[in-house]
Amino acid sequence: MQLLSVFILGIENYMLPCFTKKLFGFDCPGCGLQRALVHLVKGEFGAAFEMYPAIYPMFLLFGFLMLDKVYPFKFSNIITIALMVTTVTTILINYIFKFI
């Protein structure tokens, strides 16, 4: 457990910078994802949502894709498409609200 806490506290020092923000001066659609993941690992679920609202639909999508590999579902294509549309829509809505 101590090794996990050292990893969590130390990972913030090694986050990748946003090259879009450095080059053009504005956020990209993925800005905040790394920080939201750190908040999730720390158990700060509200802060993770505030940082990057698409984190939860994204986790649902990836979780379903992994579960579908182990236990194939009958309508997995429809569920996957619905989760992808939800994730992309959340990313785009969040990105639009950043500029308003």
Quick one: pLDDT at residue 4? 63
What the block records as the tokens of 87 is 């994730």
Neighbours of 55 (CB within 10 A): 21
In tens, the pLDDT along 8-36 reads: 667 777 788 888 888 888 888 888 898 89
Which amino acid makes up residue 3? L
Domain interval for residue 89: 2-99
What the block records as the tokens of 6 is 């050292």
Quick one: pLDDT at residue 25? 83
Number of domains in the chain: 1
